[in-house]
Amino acid sequence: MKSFRADLHIHTVLSPCGDLDMSPVQIVDLIRLQNINIVAITDHNATHHGPLVRRLAEPYGIKVFFGAEVTSKEEAHLLCLFEEEEQRVAFQEFIDLNLPQIPNKPEKFGYQVVVNEAEDILQEIEYLLISALAVGVNQIEHEVHRLGGLFIPAHVDKPRYSLTSQLGFIPSDLNFDALELSRNTSTEVFLASNRYLKQQRFVRNSDAHYLSDIGKQTTSFNIEEPTLSEMKMALWGVNGRSVEL
């Protein structure tokens, strides 16, 4: 087995709350300096920067997964991760179909731009990306798994925009692959007040909105190769795979 250090929750300039320095080029430069092996690009309700980050990172042996931090109808944030371009495109279509067409106000919420390798702006997304989709948590989970992705409720310890803040608990019948804890807590502290989750699987990520945040919190996967299927086995502790927080 090999140990792969992963940060599976990184925003870019496409997220309205992402710093304007969070371009794909600068993100990859920081990932290299942090010796991170696996990352996921998870802008709010958008997957557009994943392909460019993957192309830029590939020469350095860094594995990039396509993803999005989706906001459900309940206003809970959910990490949705994919390995293949076809999955990314299909999931983006699902998002677009369910995203309310509320115009963004950059002066209030921030800019939502797609850029190229030279950091030229190619597109500005018209509709506000931090809006809640018209579908609930269970429907989003079903679509992610139908497409073959990983479904991870985000920062479940936070008092806003988490399953625990919006629902008051983690539903026992929700088919998640892991639960994400923010860098503001530990597994021990979280479980002390949520003992019903002691048998569950956890990851920790940076949720980086600024370059200085990248790699501040990571998860190590002890796996054969950096694939979603291997990472899923590690989360379940299957065939010698494991996770270290």
**For residues 118-132, average pLDDT:** 97
The bridge status of strand 219-223 relative to strand 179-181 is unpaired
Burial class (CB in 10 A: 0-12, 13-18, 19+), 71: buried
Average pLDDT score over residue span 127-151: 98
Q: How confident is the model at residue 6 (pLDDT cuts 50, 70, 90)?
A: very high
CATH code: domain of residue 28:
3.20.20.140
User: Could you tell me the two tokens for 48?
Assistant: 């557009």
The whole-number pLDDT of residue 121 equals 95
Mean pLDDT computed over 119-133: 97
pLDDT at position 235 is: 97
Res 57: pLDDT: 98
Helices (H), the chain: 24-33, 50-57, 85-98, 106-109, 137-146, 163-167, 187-192, 228-236
Is residue 147 within 8 A of residue 90, CB to CB? The reply is yes
Residues ≥6 apart with Cβ < 8 Å to 114: 14, 48, 49, 121, 122, 123, 124, 125
Phi, psi (degrees; rounded to nearest 5) at 63: -90, 130
| pLDDT (tens digit per residue) in 173-232 | 999 999 999 989 999 999 999 999 999 999 999 999 999 999 999 999 999 999 999 999
Residue pair 43/18 in contact by the 8 Å Cβ criterion:
yes
Cβ pair 230, 241 in contact under 8 A: yes
Range of the domain at 109: 2-244
Q: Computed from CA positions of residues 165, 171, 174, 180, in that sequence, does the dihedral angle turn out positive or negative?
A: positive
Question: What percentage of the chain's residues is helix, strand, coil (to nearest 5)?
Answer: 30, 25, 45
For the chain, the first-to-last Cα distance in angstroms comes to 17
Residue of higher predicted confidence among 73 and 20: 73
Count of domains for the chain: 1
Amino acid 159: pLDDT: 96
Q: Which of 111, 41, 110, 122 is nearest to 82 (CA)?
A: 41
Average pLDDT, the chain: 97
Confidence (pLDDT) at 221:
98
pLDDT score, position 108: 96
pLDDT digits (tens, 9 = 90+) for 60-85: 999 999 999 999 999 999 999 999 99
What is the average per-residue pLDDT within 116-145? 97
**Arithmetic mean of pLDDT, 27-47:** 96
Residue 208: which region, alpha, beta or left (left: phi > 0; alpha: psi -120 to 50)?
beta
